[in-house]
Homo-oligomer: A and B are copies of this chain.
Amino acid sequence: MSELRQNIVYKEWVIIAKERAKRPHDFIDNSPKLVSDKEYDENCPFCPGNEDKFPNTEVWRLDDGKGGWLVKSIFNKYPALSPDVEYKWQEEGIFRTISGYGVHEVLIETPIHNVHPALMKVEDVAKIIYSYKQRVIEILKMNDIEYVVVFRNHGYKAGASLVHPHSQILALPIIPRDVKVRVEEAFKYFSDHGVCVFCKMLSDELKVGERIIHESEHFVSFVLFAASSPFHSWILPKKHSSRFTDITDEEVDDLSKHLKVVLAKLYKGISNPDYNYIVRTSPFSYGKNKFFHWYITIVPRLTRSAGFELGSGMFINPSIPEEDAKFLRSVDISDL
């Protein structure tokens, strides 16, 4: 029979629809893929050599020491928000607006047009994570930035339209309501129990073991007990840390290996699924704190939200988290 499960951190319930649950291998993704067989594509706005054809504003680069770049951040050509406008709060009765102030960058992860992060060298994944950190630190020096979202859209169903590996960084002049609610729930748990709820979840997941995907020196990944969708997973630092920007170089290296493992298991296990991943971190105005814990959430896009999800904010997961995790553990990625 189905059951409802609650995410202890956020207090959200999900329905694990055991009646209609599919087996993990049923989620092998045969939908059209956003891929290319070219390492360089003359029509790609992100490939080195195409800068004249596709002018853009470079914000930052990780130099290769030979005049080129290894990772590059540019302003999004169609930015949702821009640093060129002044922050301005306006209110006319109940109609509240803020000018479109903020940052919207595209972080080009590699000069190579068609490589999948699961197939990259670990040191190249490390460069991406290092770059995330540098960009977020830099952006937080600006005025009026309250929250920064680092995310990756992979494949059509995840909202991507370009093959060339890239992430996005969106810096906001407000704390999103959803983020605020989550932080407040974490604060409540800490007030009641004197321990970070994520630290508690991490140790309990390790004790139980059945949802663990992978454990490395500094990180643990697991399919969520209350996963919203098939293979919905978190990668959590073992040591309590509220801010992603406090990650050490050693942790960057370990996280890179770890992220590659998880992405490779998805890539090989269910055939290069479309997915999003997001770096979730404490809002910066909460400072370094004891109650929130940063992490990466990975959401393969294998289901669709319909009226029930829109109307309740809840999700129906047609898979069983323990089976998803067992399946991922069993995927042999030694050849990748």
What is the interface of chain A, defined by CB distance below 8 A to chain B? 1-6, 8, 10-13, 15, 17-20, 78-82, 85, 93-100, 147, 149-153, 157-160, 168, 170, 172-174, 176-179, 181, 197, 200-201, 204, 208, 225, 276-280, 297, 299, 304-308, 310-314, 316
Contact = CB atoms under 8 A, between A and B. Distances in A.
Given A5-B97, A6-B96, A95-B225, A176 B312 contact: yes
A179 B208 CA distance: 31
A100 B20 CA distance: 12
Contacts of A13: 98, 174, 176-177
Nearest to A184: B181
B99 A1 contact: yes
B6 A100 contact: no
B94 A8 contact: yes
Contacts of A208: 95
22 contacts: A2-B81, A3-B99, A4-B100, A4-B172, A4-B174, A5-B95, A8-B94, A8-B96, A12-B178, A19-B80, A80-B308, A149-B311, A153-B307, A159-B306, A168-B307, A172-B314, A179-B312, A276-B310, A278-B311, A279-B311, A297-B311, A299-B310
Given A19-B100, A94-B197, 15 more contacts: A1-B100, A2-B82, A3-B97, A8-B96, A12-B176, A15-B81, A94-B201, A95-B208, A95-B225, A172-B314, A176-B313, A176-B314, A178-B313, A178-B314, A297-B310
B20 A78 contact: yes
Most buried by B among A95, A177, A316: A177
Copies in the complex: 2
Contacts of A82: 1-2, 19
A47 to B, nearest CB: 22
Contacts of A174: 4, 13
B15 A179 contact: no
Contact of A170 (B159, B278, B308): B308
Nearest to A19: B78
A313 to B, nearest CB: 2
A101 to B, nearest CB: 8
A307 B276 contact: yes
Contacts of A99: 1, 3-4
A235 to B, nearest CB: 14
A57 B300 CA distance: 35
A260 to B, nearest CB: 18
A184 to B, nearest CB: 10
A177 B12 contact: yes
